[in-house]
Structure 1
Amino acid sequence: MRISTNTLYETGTAGLLRQSTDLFRLQQQLSTGRRVLAPSDDPVASARALEIDQSKSMNDQYALNRRDATSALGFAESQLATAGELLGTIRERLVQARSAALADSDRKAIATDIRAMFSEMMGIANSRDAFGDYLFSGYKSTTQPFSGSVEAGVSYAGDDGQREAQVASNRRLAISDSGSSVFMRAPSGNGNFSLTPDPANRGTAVLDSGGVSDMSKWSDPNNPGDFDIVFAVSGGVTTYDIIDNSSGNSLLTGAAPGGAPLPRVFQKGDTITLRSNGGSEPPFDFGARFSMTGAPADGDRVSMKISSAQSVFDTIGDVILALEQPASGDANALAKVSNAIGSAMSNIDQATDNLLTARARIGSRSTELSALDSLGDEVNLQFETSLSNLRDLNYTEAISKLTQNLSYFQAAQQSFMKVSGLSLFNYIGA
């Protein structure tokens, strides 16, 4: 077989170029730390690495969402904590306002103080987050949720929605609470029922908040939850009846209410209970009771109803208006103010519990976010490990291969020099 000089040169050059290319590729691998520099280097590993990269990018985005969600929940929790502290301060002022030693001017001064707190509470309820969205407006993040005044009352313009964030591949988490659930739906009274003296009452009776001794009895389906306690005073004796407003009949007689004297006698310090005292009274027991100080007048009435949703703004506004009414020297007016304060204090207790419940919900979400962060970090580590196994360079192997290829390259260079130097002209004339 005859090999031309041209072929010899081309073959040698091509071999040197291949060796140079291999050395250049090894040098790139060593400088980048990557085994796979192009999809053609390892198509299977490149395809798998692309899938993992996409999953890792999504996991990183969920981490950012969790960070933003944690920030939003933290801000909401701080606002609710401030609202709770504000309600505690209002309650302290109401305890002071209930003192019989205060004059009308003192109560008005307290009312002025509470008006400022009312405005502060409105500010909290209308607070915005870092993006300028209203915190407690539900889905209507650009709509101011609360508007109004002490005299006109406060209305809610948001909705009941809860904004959510995708914090994991299979988890969406609420990052807001609607203002209606936080500020407008606290249970009234003691949480089971509320007591409301008739505005036309002429006596000096002051009610406590009452209570339920047996929830199973109060929750009885036969309990209508809507009663009027009516009082009659005749011959110096105070009697009362308990009217079931759903049927219009007396609980104490089972018949339509009659005139004085009423079925039960009331004496100072007595507790009014919603259960039968035996004798001629029909059997019933709803497990509820309340007490009074002072004395009811003839015809006075007290409404007793199952707790309904109460706005914290109505609670504060109503007691402000009551404190601003003149009452000094008028026992009946003082009793009405005291009852308004007592009702407000009960409602504030329920509103405070409602805020604490909302904060507890936020706390549970924050805890879940922390757990998801830990899980996300573990998943991210797994992704990075998988990507490293697919793409990263084994330096020991690469350096050994580089040394080997350098030897090949040097041998190729030397052999090419020897072969290219072979020529008949070198021996002519020798």
Structure 2
Amino acid sequence: MRLATTTIFNIGAKSLQSHIADQAKLQSQLSSGRKILTPADDPIASARILDIAQARSINEQYATNSAAADSFMRLSESTLQQVVGVIQDVQQLSVMAGNPALTASEKKMLDAQLQGSYQELLGLANTSDGQGNYLFSGFKGDTKPFTETSFGTVNYFGDDGQRLVQISDGRQVPISESGADVFQRIKNGNGSFVTAANATNVGSGIVSPGEVTDPQKWAAAPAPRDFSVQFYWQPNPSKPDAPNISYDLIDSTGTSLITGAATAGNTAGPRTYTSGGDIEFKRLPTDPAGAAWDFGIKVSVSGSPIPLDPITKTPTGVAGAADQFSVKPSSNVDLFSILGKLSTALNNYQVDGSGKGQAAFQNQLNTALSDLSNALGNIVTTQAYLGARMVETDSVKDTTEDLKLQYAKTLSGLQDLDYAAAISDFAQNQMVLDAARKSFAQVQDLSLFKYI
């Protein structure tokens, strides 16, 4: 076979170029640490690397979102803990104000402390994250949630939504709270019904918040479930300082729940009053004959629900109807109005020898304490929801970290270079390249023209 000189040169040049290209590729792999430099090196692995890199990028964004959500919720939880402290301080102040030894001036001093707690509470309700995002404005993050129109009257300008943050493929976690749910939608009374003393009461009777003995029976009580406890008194000739006190349970139409008759003009009730005893809203064995009924609630009244002379302790005025106390379903009150009403009670405190003023004030305090307890429960419930979401976010963050490691491991297996093998290939190819260069130099001497 005859080979032309140009053919020998072309073969040698092509061989050198191939080895140089291989050497350049190995050098690039060693300098970058990757075995796949272009999709042509391994199309299938390259496509998979792209998918995993994208998934890793999304996973990193989820991690960033989780950290931001956790930070926001922790700020909310910390703020609510401060609100708990303010409510507890006001509860302590209310108990202190109930001391009958305190004068009207001293109660007004307590009101000055209450005013400070009120302003602190308003500031906490309008807390932001430092970037203009309010914690308790619902979905309206850039809207200041609460604005005061007068002491105890605060309007809410947020909404009932919640801002959501995506922390994983299938989970969006709420990070903001509706201020209306936290600070304004608070059930008064015992949460099911509320008791109150009539403003025209003249005795020293103090009504309890009451309790629900059977929630199903209370829920089934006929609407509008607007009742009152009406007291009556008659003189006791043998004991002027121990009058006969009775009471009746009356519905919103003025009809006795016990006798079923209208109560207009009555001067005595069907039940005998015992201070501090249970007043049960159901038919008792001692009641007049009638159909059985049970509304599943009870209250109590302590003290004297009739006017007494401060010295002789004998009744004053005309016998017959005396004090009245209402029992109505609970409604929503807000924390700011609770403090506003408490402030009014502290400023308007008046007392005389009959005990009327002290009883009215104590009834107002009892209402405030009951409402504050409900407000505290509402805040603690919100904290519990926040805590549950923070636990979930922490769990998702752990999963995100695990995925991050798994993605890194998979990518490493697909694209990271085996340095030992690459260095060995580089050295081997260098040796082959050197041999090719030497042999090519010797091939150049094969030309016949050299001997002419």
Aligned to 1:125: 125
1:149 shift after superposition: 5.3
Provide the rounded CA distance (Å) in 2 between the counterparts of 1:256 and 1:378: 74
Aligned to 2:338: 315
**Correspondence 1:238 to 2:261:** no
Cα shift readout 1:372-423 (whole Å, capped 9, x = no counterpart): 1111112222222222222122223322322321222122112111111223
Which consecutive unaligned segments of at least 5 residues does structure 2 have? 236-242, 307-320
Cα shift readout 1:325-357 (whole Å, capped 9, x = no counterpart): 141336222211111111100110110010000
* 1:132 counterpart SS class: coil
Provide the rounded CA distance (Å) in 1 between the counterparts of 2:58 and 2:139: 25
Aligned to 1:417: 441
* Total equivalences in the alignment: 427
Instruction: Find 1:354's aligned residue among 374, 378, 387.
Output: 378
2:299 partner letter: F
Instruction: Find 1:302's aligned residue among 302, 325, 330.
Output: 325
Cα shift readout 1:166-218 (whole Å, capped 9, x = no counterpart): 11111111101100100001211122221111112222111222222333433
The answer to whether the 8 Å contact 1:150/1:318 transfers is no
The answer to whether the 8 Å contact 1:187/1:308 transfers is yes
Cα shift readout 1:232-287 (whole Å, capped 9, x = no counterpart): 22323222111122x54221112322411122121323221112112415422223
* 2:425 counterpart SS class: helix
**Correspondence 1:270 to 2:277:** yes
Which consecutive unaligned segments of at least 5 residues does structure 1 have? none
Provide the rounded CA distance (Å) in 2 between the counterparts of 1:221 and 1:32: 80
The answer to whether the 8 Å contact 2:152/2:338 transfers is no
* 1:110 counterpart SS class: helix
Aligned to 2:263: 257
Provide the rounded CA distance (Å) in 2 between the counterparts of 1:198 and 1:308: 18
* 1:421 counterpart SS class: helix
Provide the rounded CA distance (Å) in 1 between the counterparts of 2:41 and 2:263: 96
* 2:297 counterpart SS class: strand
What's the Cα RMSD here?
A: 1.9
The answer to whether the 8 Å contact 2:206/2:301 transfers is yes
Provide the rounded CA distance (Å) in 1 between the counterparts of 2:436 and 2:424: 18
Aligned to 1:205: 205
Q: Structure 2 vs 1, CA of residues 128 and 122 (structure 1 numbering), >3 Å: closer, same or farther?
A: same
Instruction: Find 1:374's aligned residue among 385, 398, 406.
Output: 398
TM-score, normalised relative to structure 1 = 0.94
2:233 partner letter: V
Provide the rounded CA distance (Å) in 1 between the counterparts of 2:70 and 2:152: 37
Q: Structure 2 vs 1, CA of residues 160 and 131 (structure 1 numbering), >3 Å: closer, same or farther?
A: same
Q: Structure 2 vs 1, CA of residues 281 and 321 (structure 1 numbering), >3 Å: closer, same or farther?
A: farther
Return 76-85 or 274-283, whichever deviates more: 274-283
Aligned to 1:343: 367
The answer to whether the 8 Å contact 1:166/1:173 transfers is yes
Q: How does 1:30-429 map to 2 (within 5 A)?
A: 30-148=30-148, 151=151, 153-220=153-220, 222=222, 225-235=225-235, 236-245=243-252, 248-258=254-264, 259-278=266-285, 279-282=287-290, 283-297=292-306, 298-329=321-352, 331-427=355-451
Seq. identity, %: 36
Provide the rounded CA distance (Å) in 2 between the counterparts of 1:390 and 1:401: 19
1:154 shift after superposition: 1.4
Provide the rounded CA distance (Å) in 2 between the counterparts of 1:14 and 1:168: 54
Provide the rounded CA distance (Å) in 2 between the counterparts of 1:368 and 1:251: 52
TM-score, normalised relative to structure 2 = 0.90
The answer to whether the 8 Å contact 1:125/1:146 transfers is yes
Q: Structure 2 vs 1, CA of residues 421 and 221 (structure 1 numbering), >3 Å: closer, same or farther?
A: farther
The answer to whether the 8 Å contact 2:152/2:339 transfers is no
The answer to whether the 8 Å contact 1:185/1:311 transfers is yes
Return 225-234 or 5-14, whichever deviates more: 5-14
1:205 partner letter: G
Q: Structure 2 vs 1, CA of residues 354 and 208 (structure 1 numbering), >3 Å: closer, same or farther?
A: same
The answer to whether the 8 Å contact 2:207/2:325 transfers is no
